[in-house]
Amino acid sequence: MNSAPMFRKVALIGFGLIGGSIARGAKSLGLAGEIVTTARSESTRARVRELGIVDHVVESNAEAADGADLVILCIPVGACGDVAQEIAPHLKHGAIVSDVGSVKGAVVKAMAPYLPEDIHFVPAHPVAGTENSGPDSGFAELFINRWCILTPPEGTNAEATEKLAAFWRALGANVEIMTPEHHDLVLAVTSHLPHLIAYTIVSTAEELEGVTQSEVLKFSAGGFRDFTRIAASDPTMWRDVFLTNKDAVLEMLGEFQEDLSKLTRAIRRGDGDALFEHFTRTRAIRRGIVQIGQDEAAPDFGRRHKQLGKGAE
C-alpha cells in the first residue's frame, strides 16, 4: 500500500541512471504527487514519455522547476552551476533544491550563489550506481541499503534537511550528514581513485596487446573483468568528477603512488614476508567491510524491496 506523497511536485532535472532510478522508486512508493522531468534531446524526451514513469516531460529546466516543492539536479557535476542559474528565478518560495553529484564542494560553490534566500539548498550524493547511463538504465531498487550523504551548508533549515533525508530513506537509503570537504576527501579514496585505476589498467592492458600477442583481453577474467566494467562508466560524468575534485584526488593519488612503490620494492627484492603481511592486512579489511555491510542491512529491507519490486513499468 502506498503512503501519502511526501512532496506535491518533484522535478528531476536530467533522466539518466540516477534521475531515472529516483523516478522509478518515487513512483512505485507514491512519494510524489506529481513527477516532472527534463531531457535535452527530443529523442530522450520521447523515450522517457514512452517509459510512462513520470507525469510530465518538458523541454526546459526552468519549466520543470516551476512550482516544484523538491527539485533534484541529476546531471553531471560540471553542469550544476549553469542549471542553478537557469532555474533560480522560477523556484517556488520554500522549495528544497538538491542534487546527486559525486562531488560536493564544487557543486555547492557553483550552485549556492544563484539560489535565492527563501530556498532550502540540501546537496546530496547517493553512493550507489552502475557503469550504465541513460533513461533505460535506472531501477527502483538502486538505493536500497546504500548510503546517501547529505552536505547541507551551515545554517540550512533542519526541517528541510530532515524532509530530504526522509525521502532518501523511503527510497531505501541510509542517510549520513557531513561537510562537503569531508565527503570529497573520503570519496576520493573510496570511489574516484578506484575509477581512475580502472581507467588506467584497462588502457594499459590494451596497449600491451602487441607484447602479449592479443592474449590479455582474450583471457581477461576475475579482477580484470571487474576493472573493465568500471572503466565503461560515463566519460562526461567522470571527466567532471576529476576536474572538480582535483585537490582531494591528487592528494590521495600521491598516497597511492607511495604504497604502490612499497609493493614494487617488495617484489623487486623478493621480500615475501612484506607481500604476505600486506595481503593479510587487506584481506582483513575486505572481511571487515563485508561484515559491516551485513550488520547495517536495514531490518525492513525485505518489505521495501518487495514493494519497489512491483515497479511502475
Q: How many CA atoms lie within 13 A of 77 on its CB side?
A: 24
| Residue 40 interacts with which of ligand NAI, ligand ENO, none, CB < 5 to 8 Å by class | ligand NAI
111 secondary structure, DSSP code:
H
Q: Which of residues 244-303 bind ligand ENO (CB under 6 A)?
A: none
Total binding residues toward ligand ENO, as defined by CB under 6 A: 8
| Residue 17 interacts with which of ligand NAI, ligand ENO, none, CB < 5 to 8 Å by class | ligand NAI
Q: How far apart are CA 237 and CA 78, in angstroms?
A: 8
92 secondary structure, DSSP code:
P
Q: Does 18 bind ligand ENO (CB under 6 A)?
A: no
| Least Cβ distance, residue 156 to ligand NAI (angstroms) | 20
| Least Cβ distance, residue 236 to ligand NAI (angstroms) | 7
| Residue 74 interacts with which of ligand ENO, ligand NAI, none, CB < 5 to 8 Å by class | ligand NAI
| Residue 191 interacts with which of ligand ENO, ligand NAI, none, CB < 5 to 8 Å by class | ligand ENO
| DSSP H or E segment with residue 121 | strand 120-121
- DSSP for 8-45 reads EEEEEE--SHHHHHHHHHHHHHT-EEEEEEE-SSHHHH
Q: How far apart are CA 111 and CA 105, in angstroms?
A: 10
Decide whether 19 or 25 has the Cβ nearer to ligand NAI: 19
Positions in the binding site for ligand NAI (CB under 6 A): 13-19, 38-40, 61, 74-77, 79, 83, 100-102, 126, 129-130, 133-134, 137, 234, 237
Q: What is the dihedral of CA 129, 130, 132, 133, to 10 degrees?
A: 10
**Amino acid letter at 228?**
T
| Least Cβ distance, residue 157 to ligand ENO (angstroms) | 26
Q: Which of residues 186-215 bind ligand ENO (CB under 6 A)?
A: 191
Decide whether 23 or 230 has the Cβ nearer to ligand ENO: 230
Q: How far apart are CA 141 and CA 22, in angstroms?
A: 9
Q: How far apart are CA 233 and CA 229, in angstroms?
A: 7
| Least Cβ distance, residue 2 to ligand ENO (angstroms) | 28
- DSSP for 49-89 reads HHHT-SSEEES-HHHHHTT-SEEEE-S-GGGHHHHHHHHGG
| Residue 230 interacts with which of ligand NAI, ligand ENO, none, CB < 5 to 8 Å by class | ligand ENO
Q: Does 127 bind ligand ENO (CB under 6 A)?
A: yes
Decide whether 33 or 194 has the Cβ nearer to ligand ENO: 194
Q: Applying CB under 6 A, which part among 41-49, 83-91, 129-137, 165-173 lies near ligand ENO?
A: 129-137
Contact of 145 with 297, CB cutoff 8 Å: yes
Q: Does 102 bind ligand ENO (CB under 6 A)?
A: yes
Q: How far apart are CA 86 and CA 66, in angstroms?
A: 11
| Residue 78 interacts with which of ligand ENO, ligand NAI, none, CB < 5 to 8 Å by class | none
Decide whether 35 or 237 has the Cβ nearer to ligand NAI: 237
Q: Which three cell numbers stand for residue 155?
A: 545554517
Q: Does 180 bind ligand ENO (CB under 6 A)?
A: no
Taking each helix axis from N to C terminus, what angle separates 272-295 and 246-269, rounded to the nearest 10 degrees?
140
Decide whether 62 or 275 has the Cβ nearer to ligand NAI: 62
Q: Does 129 bind ligand ENO (CB under 6 A)?
A: yes
Q: Which residues bind ligand ENO (CB under 6 A)?
A: 102, 127-131, 191, 230
